[in-house]
Amino acid sequence: MKIAIVHDWLTTNAGAEKVLREFLDIYPNADIFSLVDFLDDKDREDVLNGRKVTTSFIQNLPFAKNKFRNYLGLFPLAIEQFDLSEYDLILSSSHAVAKGVLTHSEQVHISYVHTPIRYAWDLYFRYLEDNNLQKGFKATILKYILHKIRIWDYTTANRVDYYISNSNYIAKRIAKIYNKSATTIYPPVDIDKFKLCINKEDFYLTASRLVPYKKIDLIVEAFAKSNKKLVVIGDGTQMEYIKSKATSNIEILGYQEDSVLLDYMQRAKAFIFAGVEDFGITPVEAMACGTPVIALNQGGLRESIESGINGIFFEEQSVESIKEAINRFESISFKPSIIRDSIVKFGRDRFKKEIEEFIRIVF
């Protein structure tokens, strides 16, 4: 049996790449296809374990290494140029265009969907607002490109034979956008790597890419109005903006190696997250360390957080709502061992078992 695994792009080792790594553990002889592959050596070894990737023509376009997203309008064309006609099973890991590869009637295409294209659907208006692209020539061009991508994304829904969603939240989005049903298999969390730590210190932690939809700026603003200590780990386009809002009780560390992030996760009083997540692997990793999570009551995190057991929710993406949740959190007692026990069901072995069982049934 010949198997092809299709991934949107390989530029960083994030949640989607953790899923890809498990796919490759299950099918070590599968061939890998991706729009671009710019992983550094460390991430390449962790995700791909030395395997070769077939990339699209976007890989060789000018400035693609740092600006490949500027070729967004070419993504549908590029993904359709992969000739997968000799493969029996196509397994795509998709948060953008990977699900749109061309297949024929003798093949089975299973797509693990992290989310339908965020900036073309649910986050369309927020994406334009956050990037100041509501008016002007550049905005008009981008709106047209996203309009065409929405049409392409919807019309390619039938290219997938079976959908897997990474949360029930995403399953609802798949049903809404594609009118397709999906089976939820939660993504893998490396429970063994994120060890339980009983002794917590007097600081809060948030860790994320510093981009508008993650709302790290709101967390920083909330702590700027208190004397509580906050540590921020991550880098991104909003780094300077977020630094400008920080006060002396807020430490912004930028990008850190996994070992440093793990250390802070284990010692933190709580992990704070203000974005709407498809599933939210990083908060679950924090809970694996026995660290409670304070999170927005929306998205996939409602499927991993049990209020009062392993964390609490706030209701709005606002500074006041975050401040209220922090004050409420400090009146609740959490047990790190119970927090960890509540999320062991999201481990890597469980993910592999459920994926293998799903494929065995449908293929």
113 with 235, same domain: the answer is no
Q: Which residue has the tokens 């009062």?
A: 308
pLDDT number for residue 126: 87
27 with 117, same domain: the answer is yes
* DSSP letters spanning 311-336: EEEESSSSHHHHHHHHHHHTTS---H
pLDDT number for residue 131: 82
100 with 22, same domain: the answer is yes
53 with 169, same domain: the answer is yes
Structurally, the chain folds into a number of domains equal to: 2
Task: Tell me which DSSP letter residue 193 carries.
Answer: T
Least confident interval from 130-139, 262-271, 353-362: 130-139
Q: What is the mean pLDDT of residues 57-64?
A: 97
Q: Is residue 194 part of a domain?
A: no
Residue 130 has pLDDT above 90, yes or no: no
Q: Is residue 196 part of a domain?
A: no
58 with 153, same domain: the answer is yes
- Phi/psi for 199 (5° steps) reads -85, 110
Residue 89 has pLDDT above 90, yes or no: yes
33 with 75, same domain: the answer is yes
pLDDT > 90 fraction of the chain, expressed in percent and rounded:
93
Q: Is residue 198 part of a domain?
A: no
Residue 323 has pLDDT above 90, yes or no: yes
Q: Give pLDDT tens digits for 339-356.
A: 999 999 999 999 999 999
pLDDT > 70 fraction of the chain, expressed in percent and rounded:
100
226 with 137, same domain: the answer is no
pLDDT number for residue 176: 97
Q: Give pLDDT tens digits for 157-204.
A: 999 999 999 999 999 999 999 999 999 999 999 999 999 999 999 999
pLDDT number for residue 194: 96
Contact 30, 86 (CB under 8 A): no
In the structure, what pLDDT confidence band is assigned to residue 24 with cuts at 50, 70 and 90? very high
CA-CA distance, 218 to 74, in Å (whole number)?
34
356 with 233, same domain: the answer is no
pLDDT number for residue 132: 86
pLDDT number for residue 286: 97
Q: Give pLDDT tens digits for 223-242.
A: 999 989 999 999 998 999 99
- Phi/psi for 322 (5° steps) reads -65, -45
pLDDT number for residue 358: 98
What's the CATH code of the domain at 184? 3.40.50
Residue 50 has pLDDT above 90, yes or no: no
Residue 9 has pLDDT above 90, yes or no: yes
In the structure, what pLDDT confidence band is assigned to residue 156 with cuts at 50, 70 and 90? very high
pLDDT number for residue 127: 86
pLDDT number for residue 231: 98
Contact 287, 270 (CB under 8 A): no
Q: What is the mean pLDDT of residues 332-336?
A: 96
173 with 310, same domain: the answer is no
Alpha helices in the chain (DSSP H): 15-26, 41-48, 64-67, 75-79, 124-130, 137-155, 168-178, 216-224, 239-245, 258-267, 281-288, 319-329, 336-341, 348-362
For residue 168, the enclosing domain spans 3-188+347-362
118 with 222, same domain: the answer is no
In the structure, what pLDDT confidence band is assigned to residue 20 with cuts at 50, 70 and 90? very high
